[in-house]
Structure 1
Amino acid sequence: MRSKARPLLTYTILVIIVMVSLGILLAQLTRSYFITILEERISVESEYFVTYVEGFLQGEAVTRDSLNNFSEEINTSLVFVSDDGEKLIDTVEVNEEVNEETKDRIINLVNQNEEEMREGKLVEDVFYYPLPQTIGDTSGTLILISPVDSLSNITKNIWLIIGMTLLIGLIAIFFIGFNVFANYIRPIRAAAGVADELAKGNYKARTYEGHFGEAGQLSRSINILARNLQKMTTSKGMQENQLEAVINNMGSGLILIDEKGYIQLVNRAFIDSFGGSRRDYVGFLYHDSIPFTAIHETVQNIYMFEETVSETFILPLDIDRKHLEVTGAPIFSDRKKWKGIVLVFHDITNLKKLEQMRKDFVANVSHELKTPITSIRGFSETLLDGAMKDEQMLVQFLEIILKESGRLQSLIQDLLELSKVEREDFHLTIEQINMQNFLSDLVPIVQHHAENKNITLETNIEGHTVVEGDSSRLKQVFINLMSNAINYTGEKGNVQLDFKEYEDHVIVSVKDNGVGIPEEEVPRIFERFYRVDKARSRNSGGTGLGLAIVKHIVEAHHGSIQVHSEVGRGTVFHVKLFKEFTNN
């Protein structure tokens, strides 16, 4: 409020100073003017006054009464003081406007300033004019004293006029100032306030536009500027959010390095791959933040050749490894000025694994097919060379050929089965399965095999639980698991089939106390053709594809399979199946 009233107060004080100065100037000019007029009048009439005084002092026709009357008529007192200080003439007593005290003061002033004897002076409201004269043998000073009440009245009138003018002026200034403040100063201040808010980033600030003239134009321009800034900020914010969302949700890691080698941007995928947080990278030199020589060389090649470079390197992660392909490209401005480089990291681990799986699959299939085919061909050639004439050898060789052909057939059948369950259009025939009855029907199938090895087969599958699934495919799963448990358990061992029910799922466990699986081999047992003990697996008639088929069938039911094993103490497989089958 104080700042708003400051201009009006300043203008008011300025006007008061001007008006008071004008009053003082007019009063002084009026005073000087009156003194000049009186001096001229008395100077002209002085000879006439001197004649009267000479006539009185020389005893001629002028008497004291006539002299007093004369002084009273002209309203001017006459005082003649000799050089000896004697007052020879004094008509002050007939003039009521001049008192004795003023007269004595004037006489003292005249005696003190003899060199200014020809100048009139004003003492209070009385004007005196000294005239040095020699009348006869008497020398002295004739002092003409005249009251000037009109001068005081005029001065009062001047100050009264100035006061009224000042009052009217102040009122006019108030209204004019208020109008100027309302129409110009206040809009400008409001616009300045909005400009300050805009400078602080508050682009929602607005000012009133109902003013006219330049102030109104300023208000409208400020509001237009605010709206444009708000639109630009909103648009820029949306673009930044969209760009940030795109960069952070990229499946590939991204890093932006400026022309000096400092990291300016990293996305979420990059942090997920390399670890740490944004503050560990942004603002630091790339070779200090990224401890991989392959990346350093890629960046240096881009700086050196100024062209797109692609490299492949391996990123070690604890006990695992991740294969990354980094593609880097230089960044130039519109004027071909170097701005930095951008690196994109593509995770090709799955592609590498797929390629390795394909190589392993071809190698394993070739190896698995080679053994029975070689055996069949070798024994066939032996028979053709004459061994078939020996009946005992003929029967033995034919049995070996039959066994190897059966093994070959089993291998091909498992390959076809695995290929079928891995296809995207693999179809399950979903039905309601009573799990207790279902598992009970499977036990007799493997019971004979267990009895041949003197293995005890225990079951704990009580209850009545209905699960949705494909019974024929689930039959493959549990027969395979129980057969493996029997195959890898020594004589007089124990195999246990357990069933547990939960709110929305069931868990079927197949447990044995056989040879077990080494801990480092457990993650690989579901790979195709992978065998922990290759010689033992072949002797048991396994193809190395059974667990791979089991895993695919369980996952097709949206379930899961887990393995816990200790070498020499046995293995347990847990199959989790949901009661309701969903296609999501």
Structure 2
Amino acid sequence: MASNTRPLMTYTVLVVIVMLGLGIILAQLTRGYFINIFEQRVELESQYFITYLDRFTEDREVSQEELYNFSEQLNTGMIFISDSGERIIDTVDAVPVISKGEKQEVITRVEGGTSPMNEGQMLDEIFYYPVNNSVDDINGTLILLSPVEALTNITKNIWLLIGFTLLLGLLVIFVIGFNVFSKYIRPIRSAANVATELAKGNYKARTYEGHFGEAGQLSQSINILARNLQEMTSTKGMQENQLEAVINNMGNGLVLIDEKGYILLLNRAFLETFKGEQNDFIGHLYHDAIPYTTIHETVQKIYMFEETVSETFVLPVNIDRKHLEVTGAPIFSEDRKWRGVVLVFHDISELKQLEQMRKDFVANVSHELKTPITSIRGFSETLLDGAMKDEKMLEQFLQIILKESGRLQSLIQDLLELSKLERDDFLLNVEQVEVQRLLNDLLPIVEQHAEQKQVKLHASIKGNTLIQGDSSRLKQVFMNLLTNAINYSGDEGEVTLEFQESENYVTIKITDNGVGIPEEEISRIFERFYRVDKARSRNSGGTGLGLAIVKHIVEAHEGTIRVESEVDVGTAFYVEIPKKFTEN
């Protein structure tokens, strides 16, 4: 509020000062004018008084009483003081307005020489005029004293006029100033405040638009500017948020490098890939913050050739490795000025792994098919070369050919089965399955195989729990696991089949005390054709696809399979299947 009224107060104080100065000047001019008038009048009166005194002293035609009457008529007192200090004539009492104290003060001033001769002086409301003169041959000083109430009244009237004029002027100034302030200063100041808020970034600030003229146009323009800035800021903020969300939720890492080589921007995927905080990269040179030669070479090629460049490199992550493809492109402004480089990092580890799995699968299939085919062809050629005449050798070779062809048939069947399970349109024949009964149906088959291997089989599968599942596929799972447990148990080994039940799941545990699986190999036993002990696996008649098929069937039932194993101690497989099947 104080700042709003400061201009008006300033102008008011200025006007008051001017009016006071004008009043003082007018009062002094008036005072001086009247003093001059009185001085001229008293000077004339002094001559008249001197003449009158001469008649008083010479002819004695004028009495003392007449002098009093004369002073009373002229309203002017007269004092004649000889040079010796004797007061010869004194008619001041004829003018009652002049007090004795004032009279004495005038006499003191004249006798003391502080008042010059032949020059009028003012003492409060008394005008006195001293002049040298002689009365009856007596030299002395004639002092004429006259009250000047008129001068005081005129001065008061001047000040009253000035005060009235000042009051009227202040009222006019207030009215005019208020109108000017309301119509011009206030809207301009409000617009200035809004402009200040806009400069600070507060685009919600607005000013009142109820003004007219240029001030109203200014207010409207400021508000239009504020609305446009708010809309632009809102739109820009939304775009920045959208861009930030897109960049941070990209599955690939992204880095933006300026024309000087400093990192300006990166996303969450980059930090997750290369590990670190934004402060470790933002504002640093790329070759200092990212210590990989391939990335440095990629950026250098982009700088040199100004075209998109792609490179692949391996990123060590703890004991693992990530295969990354970095694609870099130059950034140009609209006027084709160089602005920097953008790098996108694609994690192609899965693609590399799939590619390697494809290569391994082709190699394994080729190898697995080649082995029985080679055996069949070799023994067939031997028989055709004359070995058929030896009945003992003939029977032995035919048995080998039959075994290898059976192995070849099993391999093809497993490949077809795995291919079927991996198809998107694969469906289970879901029905109510009594788990304990299903396992008991498998025991006679498995026990016969265990007796041949001299392995003891223990089963603990009491109860009659119902679940939803495909009974034939579940039989395939447990048959495979039990057969593997028997095959990998040594002579006098033991295999245990246990059943456990919870509220929503059933768990089948199959354990053996065989050779076990090294810890580093456990994560790979469900891969196709992967064997921990390749020689033993082939001797056991396995194709290397059994556990891969088991894993697919269990996952198709929305279950899980896990393994615990210790070398030379044994292995335990846990198959957990939900009681209720939910189709996805």
Q: Where on the TM-score scale, by shorter chain, does this alignment land: which range?
A: over 0.9
SS at match of 2:354: helix
**One-letter amino acid matched to 2:476:** Q
**Match of 1:438?**
438
1:537 aligns with 2:533: no
- Structural mapping, 1:52-451, within 5 Å: 52-113=52-113, 116-133=116-133, 137-170=137-170, 183-451=183-451
**Match of 1:512?**
512
The change in CA–CA distance for 1:135 and 1:114 in structure 2 (over 3 A counts) is: farther
Residues 77-100 of structure 1: CA deviation (Å, up to 9, x unaligned): 222334444433322121111233
In 2, the alpha carbon distance for the partners of 1:175 and 1:434 equals: 103
1:4: how far off? 4.9
Q: Tell me, yes or no, if the aligned pair for 2:436 and 2:465 is still in contact at 8 Å.
A: yes
**One-letter amino acid matched to 1:38:** F
Farther off after superposition, 374-383 or 79-88: 79-88
Farther off after superposition, 444-453 or 180-189: 180-189
The change in CA–CA distance for 1:198 and 1:463 in structure 2 (over 3 A counts) is: farther
In 1, the alpha carbon distance for the partners of 2:414 and 2:392 equals: 33
1:431: how far off? 1.7
**Match of 1:22?**
22
In 2, the alpha carbon distance for the partners of 1:150 and 1:33 equals: 13
1:357: how far off? 1.2
In 2, the alpha carbon distance for the partners of 1:62 and 1:114 equals: 33
Residues 150-183 of structure 1: CA deviation (Å, up to 9, x unaligned): 1122222333333444445555555555555555
In 2, the alpha carbon distance for the partners of 1:115 and 1:80 equals: 16
Farther off after superposition, 141-150 or 216-225: 216-225
**One-letter amino acid matched to 1:91:** T
Residues 370-429 of structure 1: CA deviation (Å, up to 9, x unaligned): 111111111111111121122222222111111111111111111111111112222222
Farther off after superposition, 528-537 or 131-140: 131-140
The change in CA–CA distance for 1:464 and 1:199 in structure 2 (over 3 A counts) is: farther
In 1, the alpha carbon distance for the partners of 2:468 and 2:272 equals: 38
**Match of 1:557?**
557
The change in CA–CA distance for 1:464 and 1:195 in structure 2 (over 3 A counts) is: farther
In 1, the alpha carbon distance for the partners of 2:530 and 2:463 equals: 37
The change in CA–CA distance for 1:519 and 1:216 in structure 2 (over 3 A counts) is: same
Residues 537-571 of structure 1: CA deviation (Å, up to 9, x unaligned): 11111111111111122222222211111111111
In 2, the alpha carbon distance for the partners of 1:541 and 1:415 equals: 15
SS at match of 2:581: coil
**Match of 1:485?**
485
> What is the total number of aligned residue pairs between the two structures?
584
SS at match of 2:454: coil
**One-letter amino acid matched to 2:341:** I
In 1, the alpha carbon distance for the partners of 2:121 and 2:488 equals: 145
SS at match of 1:568: coil
In 2, the alpha carbon distance for the partners of 1:581 and 1:461 equals: 22
In 1, the alpha carbon distance for the partners of 2:579 and 2:272 equals: 36
**One-letter amino acid matched to 1:76:** T
Residues 74-133 of structure 1: CA deviation (Å, up to 9, x unaligned): 112222334444433322121111233323322333344489423211111111223334
SS at match of 2:506: strand
SS at match of 1:256: strand
1:345: how far off? 0.3
Percentage of identical aligned residues: 68
SS at match of 2:532: coil
- Structural mapping, 1:446-457, within 5 Å: 446-457=446-457
**One-letter amino acid matched to 1:402:** L
The change in CA–CA distance for 1:485 and 1:389 in structure 2 (over 3 A counts) is: same
Superposition TM-score, scaled by structure 2 size: 0.93
1:323: how far off? 0.4
In 2, the alpha carbon distance for the partners of 1:129 and 1:382 equals: 172
SS at match of 1:101: helix
- Gap runs ≥5 in structure 2: none
1:200: how far off? 4.0
Farther off after superposition, 510-519 or 114-123: 114-123
**Match of 2:573?**
573
**One-letter amino acid matched to 1:491:** D
In 2, the alpha carbon distance for the partners of 1:189 and 1:343 equals: 51
**One-letter amino acid matched to 1:103:** K
SS at match of 1:331: strand
**In angstroms, what is the RMSD of aligned CA positions?**
2.5
Q: Tell me, yes or no, if the aligned pair for 2:497 and 2:510 is still in contact at 8 Å.
A: yes
SS at match of 1:379: helix
SS at match of 1:393: helix
Residues 495-553 of structure 1: CA deviation (Å, up to 9, x unaligned): 11122222222222211111111112111111111111111111111111111111122
In 1, the alpha carbon distance for the partners of 2:174 and 2:460 equals: 104
1:194: how far off? 4.0
Q: Tell me, yes or no, if the aligned pair for 2:298 and 2:311 is still in contact at 8 Å.
A: yes
**One-letter amino acid matched to 1:69:** N
**Match of 1:526?**
526
**One-letter amino acid matched to 2:393:** M
SS at match of 1:315: strand
**One-letter amino acid matched to 1:470:** D
In 1, the alpha carbon distance for the partners of 2:36 and 2:404 equals: 154
**One-letter amino acid matched to 1:440:** N
1:224: how far off? 3.0
Farther off after superposition, 527-536 or 297-306: 297-306
The change in CA–CA distance for 1:504 and 1:178 in structure 2 (over 3 A counts) is: farther
In 2, the alpha carbon distance for the partners of 1:215 and 1:227 equals: 18
**One-letter amino acid matched to 2:317:** L
In 2, the alpha carbon distance for the partners of 1:422 and 1:580 equals: 22
Farther off after superposition, 165-174 or 395-404: 165-174
SS at match of 2:573: strand
In 2, the alpha carbon distance for the partners of 1:115 and 1:223 equals: 75
